[in-house]
Structure 1
Amino acid sequence: MMTPIMHYFQNDGGQYLQYVWEHLYLSFISLAISMAIALPLGYLGSRIRSLAAVCTAFTQALRIIPSLALLFLLIPFIGTGMLPATIALVALALPPLLINTILGFNEVSPLYKEVGTALGMDQRQLRRQVEIPLALPYILNGVKLALVEIIASATLATYIGAGGLGTLIFTGLGLYNMTYVVIGGVSVALLSLLSMVSFDLVIRRMKKNA
Structure 2
Amino acid sequence: MFAPVTSLPKIGPKLGQAFARLLPTRADGLEPHVASLLFLLPHRVIDRRRVMTLAEAWDGDEATFNLRVEEHQWAPAGKTRLPHRILCGDDFNTVTLTFFQMKRPWLESAYPIGETVTVFGRLESFNGRFSMVHPDRLTGNADDGTLALVEPVYPLVQGLGPRVVKNAAHAALERLPALPEWGEPSVLLARGLPSFSAALARANACFRPRFSRCARRSSPW
TM-score using structure 1 length: 0.25
The structure, 1 or 2, with the larger RCO (C-alpha pairs under 8 Å, 6+ apart) is: 1
TM-score using structure 2 length: 0.24
Q: Which has the higher helix share?
A: 1
